[in-house]
Structure 1
Amino acid sequence: MTKNIFAREALAQIPKILTLLDRNPHSPTYGCFDRNFWQYKIIDFPSGMAQEFVLPLALVYNTPLPDNPFYQKPAIRDWVEAGILYAASSAHPDGSCDDYFPFERAGGAAAFSLLACIESYQELGLNNFTALKFFETRADWLAHHNESGRLTNHQALIVLCLELLTNLLQTNKWDKARVQRLERVLSWQNREGWFIEYEGCDPGYHTLTISCLARIYQLRPDPRLKEALIKAVQLAAEFVHPDGSYGGEYTSRNTYNFFPHGFELVGKWFPDALRINDRILVGLENGLGSCYADDHIIGHHTWNYLLTWRDFVENRPQITPRTQGRIWLKEAKILIERRQDTELYLSLNKGGVFKLFRGNNLIASDTQFSLQIKSGKKVQNAVGHLVDSYQVKVSEDDISIEGNLGWAKQKQMTTINLMILRVVMFTVGRFFPNLIRKLLQKVLITGKKKAPFHFSRRLEWHQGQWCVRDELKAKSWQGVVAVGIGGDQTSIYVVMSRTFQQGQLQPWLDLTDEVKKLNKDDTLKIDRNF
């Protein structure tokens, strides 16, 4: 397997990134990567996260591949510097930036874009006092900013930014903040190896945290950090599917994220990490990576893939067969079962959402019951895949989960809602952005409101196959207009989720006709054998 697959995937995104960029030196928004702002003029502020796109350009400038048309092109260098300076000029006076609404002061956007700007500055050997002053101001803000929610990848990003700037500016002003942040990251690592993301374990964001920590360890070796990385890498190895895909809806944040760079860095001293990337390369070669080529998230994987190509370790251990048996992450509430030629990935805190593979093929992706219920003119969606404490029983050949469906989070922005949000943010909200963020997280991401439908799911291993029995009880079937089971449904707002991946091509299982046959007290029963 060749490292050029990573470069190929990244290079394919560069023309779009350049399309997102205002490349006109005489434009007042020269260097802005938010096309919705500078070109379409359909929003009233630029997203600070978009300036992260300088890093893919800086890296592709220094990537000596025969089919790289951007290599050492002076225009690319100019546009990267313009992007850094636009990040500085569009930031708030305290160095923070906005992402989704004015005066948001988004910690993630500030950290991602600062990391990209610092790395780009050093990659191209720039010399610009304005940029350096901006780096320092933003780092000062990040060092003391505490966002709502527990997102370990953001904390690791901040530590990496402070570490890089400490070296670049030859200062120790952030030493205390850097140490405290790293302690927080380490304390947020579960003993099972995963780092918390909102309500649990997300293997996708887990790989981004590994990338950041591996880079930090490279800059400042630390035995505790090394131990944390080994545990994290060993856990990540279990989530690479047999076809080379990774992650999905059975994880806490529903992402297919995979950031490979950290595994190359760790692989220099812990070779097992390299096997993970080799398995992923098989999936990428077969088109099983997820598509992240939208205007907001295209940059993350592009720069990470280019760094992976650059730091690829040539001497690699052979890929070895997976060990048969069960891996039950009791605190993550994820169960992985490998029997004969099958692999089951099952979420016990999301109603039994699962992916099932036979050999190297995905044969089932299941995100539980989904119902549409009509009451008057209002249509609501009740789903079985929201995070909750379900009743779970696990034995050697039998796994059962039961509980209530929950109401899907389908809140949309309306003209009135946008106007209210703008008024709030331009008045009191600008002084309490973290409170607004916390309220939005509660509405869009965390928590569950129970719906009046009770489900039970049983997975039984019998004669070399998995037998799945689903039952659904209702106080009344009146008003239920549609019922089904899909392979990729999610119902919370996560930026990096709901991307397309080839495994999502499986058909929707429509159960509406079965429900129409039921009387008031009847139970919907579905049996499937895989």
Structure 2
Amino acid sequence: MNDFEYQANYIKQNANRIIWMQDRHPLSPSYGCFHYSHWRDKVSEFADIRFQEAGAALALLAHPLLHEPSLPMKEALYKAFSAGVVFWNRQQHSDGSFDEWYKNEHGFAATTFSLIAYGLAIYFLADKIEQEDKKILLQTAEKAANWLLKHDDFVKMNHQAAGAAALAIAYKICGKEAFLNEAVRKHQTVLKAQTDEGWFNEIAGMDLGYCSVLLDYMMLYHYITKDNSGLEAMKKLYAFIFPFIQPDITISPEAGICLNPYVSRLGTLLLSEHSPEAASVAKAMDSQSAGFSGIEPYLADDLRLCRWGYLPLITYIIREQMKAEFRFAKACNVQVINSEGAAFYEQAGVFSYKSKGLHCIFMPAGGGGIRIFYQGNNSVDIYSYEDLGYFYDDPSWTKYKMFTGGYKNTRKIEKDSNTVTAYIRFAPAKFFFPPFIARLILRIGCSIPYLSYWLRWLIDVYRKKKGTAINQSVAPLSEKSLGIILKRRLIMEGSTLKITDEIACENNSFRLNLRHLHPLIFSSKGIAEPPGLFDSLGTDKVESVIITKEIRTSDKGFSFSFSAKGK
């Protein structure tokens, strides 16, 4: 089973699970709601409208290219969709917007993505949707699109890209010329925001996963409008992403500000006719599968299953259309790109190296994390090694554990012919959980007209300052150093890699206690760090320590050697 089939089948296998999440009591005021924490458990005072996108996925499962005997009957799927449309309409604010994150949010993402989901349902199933449901859906969609005419989201550029796609779809199903005009304008604002390296800003930096999300919706816009003006930019974006797609068709979350490890399927498929890199990945997806690792970033939990369940289905339908027209075979009829060598993006703070089945990814912006993959000749086995830095838990320094992780693309990086060096300061591992008073202020403030806009503005300022999305992940906040620095050097010598870590106190009056220094090293065979790494030093307290790791490859995978030297 290839990756496209695996992902579509995952949604099919979870169809009953999705239906089970819905309030199906016709007399209930929350009839049609998929957010069971709201309608059933009563622990949420409002319904996150992103759950409603599940209704679109259920409708699409009745599509002739997708429905099969193992699925619920088409009537059951349609009934759940119809109820979902009703609740989507009921939850719409008078201005056309919806809530996702907090009550009275009037959220751009909530409005945009729910419009896309239900808009695609009517786009692909127009003749299968009953008149009353079509009337409600079109009224709700037009109202949402009218709101989008007056709003942008430049904090997360994937949202702006989705806004262009949403309005393009609204134009197709509602026929209002203003929607197309604004879709074109939003699309152009995204193109103007592309960096010289090819990526687009998310909050305050680069995120590989959201590069994929942006690609999906920029290519969906192209699919709907046939506007070719963004193709060169998307080819440049994919050329940036390509070196970081790992042999198992995954990416490393540490490379991005939001820790999003999603890899585009829809955008990759649609771009495959125009980009050799995208065609190469689409060809791999058509012959192998990432399995659950490909599902996990965006479909594993209930919320993400409801939000994004329509994406693999749309991708499958479009792929079948392309196959029927022999376009997919033509796109995939490309030679595998010789991607060996190094790719270094200083602004993004990421580096990739490939050599004879070896693939190494170094992420200075992501705390200096290193992931290494190896696949021998004629082997289906992929071996992995990951070194995600260190944490230090000496309570005499701080009550917090300090670590080298966390996103910051302004870290100092140096590169010469075969060496990349990054300087990473240990920082306290702090995470954002809003206190009661903050939630109360947000709740009261958002009930006052126009104040919700300024509260969201303040939230976005805080997100940029702390270098994290706050929601959607457990990404740590960007904090100041507490006096320990890691100088990490990656040396590439063909199929052998050497990592040299020098850890030192920036204040010479302090000493490191090695009992509290913990490497975060793992391999496909388990923990790779040998016990007693620092025993040979004969002391626990040092001014600095140099740890050297040598990783060699063979047909049996990796072999390791470790050494430590103190001062």
The unaligned stretches of length 5 or more in structure 2 are 324-328, 376-380, 470-476, 552-567
Where does residue 139 of structure 2 map in the other structure? 133
| Residues 374, 480 of structure 1: 8 Å contact kept | no
**AA paired with 1:486?**
L
Q: Percent identity?
A: 20
User: How much is the aligned-residue C-alpha RMSD, in angstroms?
Assistant: 3.1
**AA paired with 2:418?**
D
Per-residue deviation, 1:407: 2.8
| Residues 97, 105 of structure 1: 8 Å contact kept | yes
- Residues 180, 324 of structure 1: alpha-carbon distance in 2 compared, 3 angstrom cutoff: same
Query: Distance in 1 between the 2:407 and 2:362 partners?
Result: 14
SS in 1 for 2:267: helix
Worse-matched range after superposition: 365-374 or 282-291? 282-291
- Residues 479, 366 of structure 1: alpha-carbon distance in 2 compared, 3 angstrom cutoff: closer
The reply to whether residue 196 of structure 1 matches residue 218 of structure 2 is no
Where does residue 165 of structure 2 map in the other structure? 160
Query: Distance in 2 between the 1:477 and 1:98 partners?
Result: 51
Q: Deviations over 1:25-84 (max 9, x none)?
A: 222111111111011111111112111212211211215457553366112112112212
- Residues 107, 295 of structure 1: alpha-carbon distance in 2 compared, 3 angstrom cutoff: same
SS in 1 for 2:178: coil
The reply to whether residue 229 of structure 1 matches residue 205 of structure 2 is no
Where does residue 144 of structure 1 map in the other structure? 150
Where does residue 384 of structure 2 map in the other structure? 363
Per-residue deviation, 1:301: 4.3
Where does residue 452 of structure 2 map in the other structure? 430
- Residues 37, 162 of structure 1: alpha-carbon distance in 2 compared, 3 angstrom cutoff: same
Where does residue 518 of structure 2 map in the other structure? 484
- Identify which of 189, 214, 217 aligns with 2:222: 217
Query: Distance in 2 between the 1:512 and 1:47 partners?
Result: 50
The reply to whether residue 6 of structure 1 matches residue 4 of structure 2 is no
- The 5 Å alignment of 1:464-475 reads 464-474=495-505, 475=507
> How many residue pairs align between the two structures?
515
Query: Distance in 1 between the 2:71 and 2:141 partners?
Result: 26
**AA paired with 2:545?**
L
Query: Distance in 1 between the 2:355 and 2:171 partners?
Result: 50
| Residues 245, 280 of structure 1: 8 Å contact kept | no
**AA paired with 2:488?**
R
**AA paired with 1:397?**
N
SS in 1 for 2:53: helix
Where does residue 356 of structure 2 map in the other structure? 340
Structure whose alpha-carbon radius of gyration is higher: 2
**AA paired with 1:242?**
P
- Residues 522, 147 of structure 1: alpha-carbon distance in 2 compared, 3 angstrom cutoff: same
SS in 2 for 1:344: strand
- Identify which of 328, 341, 347 aligns with 1:325: 341
Per-residue deviation, 1:319: 6.0
The reply to whether residue 108 of structure 1 matches residue 109 of structure 2 is yes
Q: Deviations over 1:207-237 (max 9, x none)?
A: 2222212222223233421222322333333
- Identify which of 488, 496, 519 aligns with 1:457: 488
Where does residue 245 of structure 1 map in the other structure? 250
Worse-matched range after superposition: 411-420 or 194-203? 411-420
Q: TM-score, normalised by structure 1?
A: 0.87
Per-residue deviation, 1:171: 1.4
| Residues 205, 409 of structure 2: 8 Å contact kept | no
Where does residue 498 of structure 1 map in the other structure? none
Where does residue 374 of structure 1 map in the other structure? 395
Query: Distance in 2 between the 1:66 and 1:163 partners?
Result: 27
Where does residue 563 of structure 2 map in the other structure? none
**AA paired with 2:124?**
E
- Residues 192, 137 of structure 1: alpha-carbon distance in 2 compared, 3 angstrom cutoff: same
**AA paired with 1:160?**
A
Query: Distance in 1 between the 2:50 and 2:343 partners?
Result: 37
- Residues 108, 405 of structure 1: alpha-carbon distance in 2 compared, 3 angstrom cutoff: same
| Residues 382, 451 of structure 1: 8 Å contact kept | no
- Residues 109, 283 of structure 1: alpha-carbon distance in 2 compared, 3 angstrom cutoff: farther
Where does residue 293 of structure 1 map in the other structure? 300
The unaligned stretches of length 5 or more in structure 1 are 489-502
Q: TM-score, normalised by structure 2?
A: 0.82
Q: Which has the higher contact order (CA 8 A, sep 6+)?
A: 1
Where does residue 30 of structure 1 map in the other structure? 31
**AA paired with 2:217?**
C
